[in-house]
Structure 1
Amino acid sequence: MHPEFAISHRDEKGWTVVEVHGEVDVSTVPRIREYISACIEAGRYHLIVDLVGVSFMDSTGLGLFVHIGKRIRTHAGDLRLVITNPNVLQIFHITNLHQSLQIHDSAKVAME
């Protein structure tokens, strides 16, 4: 586990905002999956995953967010991502996932 990795959440305006800091990769994805699954199991179906503090993401991270998006939709929920790092954003554009996952530049905008 990367020492700089951290995950937390807060509830705001009907949304659960999950903040991730550090790297999203094969070593951290299981922890993120477990954390977000606990949110979903607690009935939090309107999720914003704030990735502003993420410095790197690999393909396991992309797969995780595709999976979470599908799982949330089975509950008539909504998943929105907040990404400002150009390198992380580029991965979503190269894979065309920006077309199927809502990406915003701040949690405030994502709540609108």
Structure 2
Amino acid sequence: MSADELAFWLRTRTVGGTTVIELHGELDMLAHRELGPRVHALVRVADADVVLDLRAVTFLDAGGIRLLLAVREHVAYRGGTLRLIRGTPRILHILRIVRLDGSFTILDALPRVLTDGVEQPHRTA
């Protein structure tokens, strides 16, 4: 990886009334600082239903946890529903260690209705 490549990125799409945000790479303090404003902007304009897909997350620290909690707070403020797609066992283990696994609705996979008829894909660094 070159110095100008980020170790994280996101891709979004809207399916029906649900915004799916796929998080990729290392969710750390830098990711929180860089991706946080973009994710919050998406949540502000999104319908009430938001899915954070963690399957491609390779690392999660306090900054990444802070990002997840901030998204949860924004979605709740709008009266919405937030669901997480289960990441690797390591990521789920981290959520368990900090006792947040019960604070989110965690799904094993993206619901089928959200995999069909994909609309508006976007990739953001």
Q: 2:30 & 2:69 partners in 1: Cα distance? A: 18
Q: What's the RMSD between the two structures over aligned residues?
A: 2.0
Indicate the structure whose relative CO is greater, using CA pairs within 8 Å and at least 6 residues apart: 2
Residue 51 of structure 1: how far off its partner (Å): 1.0
Q: Which of these two proteins has the greater Rg computed from alpha carbons?
A: 2
Aligned to 1:53: 56
In structure 1, list runs of 5 or more residues that go unmatched.
none
| Candidates 105, 108, 122, aligned match of 1:105 | 108
- In the superposition, the TM-score normalised over structure 2's length comes to 0.78
Residue 6 of structure 1: how far off its partner (Å): 1.9
Residue 64 of structure 1: how far off its partner (Å): 1.6
In structure 2, list runs of 5 or more residues that go unmatched.
115-125
Residue range with higher mean Cα deviation, 100-109 or 18-27: 100-109
Match runs of 1:37-76 below 5 Å: 37-76=40-79
- Any idea what SS the aligned residue of 2:50 has? strand
Residue 46 of structure 1: how far off its partner (Å): 1.3
Query: Which amino acid counterpart does residue 45 of structure 1 have in structure 2?
Result: A
Structure 1 consecutive aligned stretches of length 4 or more whose deviation exceeds 4 Å: none
Identical pairs, percent: 27
Q: 1:3 & 1:52 partners in 2: Cα distance? A: 18
Match runs of 1:1-112 below 5 Å: 2-108=5-111
Using a 3 Å threshold, how does the CA distance of structure 1 residues 83 and 74 change in structure 2: closer, same or farther? same
